[in-house]
């Protein structure tokens, strides 16, 4: 392990920026905390998960699938991508969609960005208002763990160890003692709620009237889908102009009426209640059946952006309050 103070972190980021295509949380000129480059703003590793889904680095909101007549739409990057700022829960989300895009057939559009990318997590006392985020201790190349004063750099892969070797200062043996004590005390209430809600859904204990009630609050903003790191649905659009033909794909939302509408006009998800049920059931029950794990890792984004309070944890909490007594 290596150790850096705040000024040392700034110098370290400048060093790796020269060697890699560095992307990390920054405060831009407008005061927003976003994923960007050092040239786009000031590094901002504190603050917890960004609202923007980190998986958009590899599955962007819109991208070309095929371009004919106009040449290559996107040249290959000159430097290897190094993405800093994933929370441990973000890493679980990334692993989930890695499985999704390689299941059945390998999605080369996704993996042309994902393959070779280096990922660094951020954890410790870096949450909102200095809250604690338990370290990942894996699932990435290396991790920045803030102990309240210094950054402990913990490498996990060969590439991560190579980057950590750029830091001349070794961390003391007990550098993570305070963090580990906090890990022992930490209780993830959201994860417990989601797990219980999954059991309720898998047991088919939620009546249709519940989904009608939740759907009545939905204003179809699609924010839940736009920020969810494990939402992978997309639509395809074709363009033809004087320069040639192109096909692109863009994110879609299961909350919209046209999401499942068929060419003949039939819509198996023709009501908002059905679409709302699908959004929650897919993450907490259907994904459990297919993948052996839920598609929600309680990153908190949908609950943070939903203007009417029906993010997945909020809905799960309502389910647990009302229906857990029916579990055998």
pLDDT tens readout for residues 77-128: 789 999 999 999 999 999 999 999 999 999 999 999 999 999 999 999 999 9
pLDDT for res 130:
94
Q: Is the pLDDT of residue 303 over 60?
A: yes
pLDDT in tens, 42-70: 999 999 999 999 999 999 999 998 888 75
Angle, helices 312-323/189-202, rounded to nearest 10 degrees: 60
Closest to 230 in 3D by CA, of 294, 322, 305, 281 = 294
- DSSP letters for 176-205: THHHHHHHHH---HHHHHHHHHHHHHHTT-
Q: How far is CA 106 from CA 103, 142, 167, in A?
A: 7, 26, 37
pLDDT at 75: 67
Burial of 262 (0-12, 13-18, 19+ CB in 10 A): exposed
DSSP SS3 for 248: strand
Q: What pLDDT is attached to residue 260?
A: 81
243-286 tens-digit pLDDT? 788 899 999 999 888 888 888 888 888 888 999 999 999 999 99
SS3 of the chain: helix, strand, coil, percent, to 5: 40, 20, 40
- Which secondary-structure segment (H or E) carries 10? helix 6-19
Q: What is the pLDDT of residue 74?
A: 65
According to DSSP, the β-strands at 234-241 and 42-43 are unpaired
pLDDT of 268 reads 82
């Amino acid at each position: 392990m290596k150790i850096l103070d705040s000024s040392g972190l700034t110098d370290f980021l400048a060093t790796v920026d020269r060697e890699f295509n560095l992307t990390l949380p920054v405060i831009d000129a407008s005061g927003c905390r976003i994923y960007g480059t050092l040239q786009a703003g000031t590094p901002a590793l504190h603050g917890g998960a960004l609202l923007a889904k980190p998986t958009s680095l590899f599955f962007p909101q819109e991208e070309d699938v095929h371009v004919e007549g106009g040449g290559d739409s996107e040249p290959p990057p000159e430097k290897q991508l190094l993405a800093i700022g994933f929370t441990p829960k973000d890493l679980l989300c990334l692993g989930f969609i890695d499985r999704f895009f390689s299941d059945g057939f390998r999605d080369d559009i996704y993996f042309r960005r994902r393959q070779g990318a280096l990922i660094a997590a951020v954890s410790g006392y870096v949450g909102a208002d200095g809250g604690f985020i338990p370290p990942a201790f894996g699932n990435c190349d290396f991790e920045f763990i803030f102990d309240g004063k210094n950054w402990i750099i913990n490498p996990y892969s060969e590439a991560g160890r190579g980057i950590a070797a750029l830091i001349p200062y070794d961390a003391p043996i007990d550098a993570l003692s305070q963090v580990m004590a906090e890990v022992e005390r930490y209780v993830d209430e959201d994860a417990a709620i989601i797990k219980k809600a999954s059991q309720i859904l898998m047991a088919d204990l939620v009546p249709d009237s519940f989904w009608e009630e939740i759907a009545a609050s939905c204003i179809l903003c699609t924010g839940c889908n736009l920020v969810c790191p494990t939402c992978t649905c997309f639509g395809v659009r074709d363009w033809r102009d004087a320069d040639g033909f192109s096909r692109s794909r863009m994110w879609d939302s299961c909350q919209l009426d046209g999401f499942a509408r068929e060419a003949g006009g039939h819509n198996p998800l023709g009501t908002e209640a059905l679409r709302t049920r699908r959004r929650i059931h897919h993450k907490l029950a259907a994904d459990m059946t297919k993948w052996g794990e839920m598609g929600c890792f309680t990153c908190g984004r949908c609950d943070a952006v939903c203007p009417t309070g029906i993010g997945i944890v909020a809905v799960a909490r309502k389910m647990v309050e009302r229906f857990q007594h029916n579990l055998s």
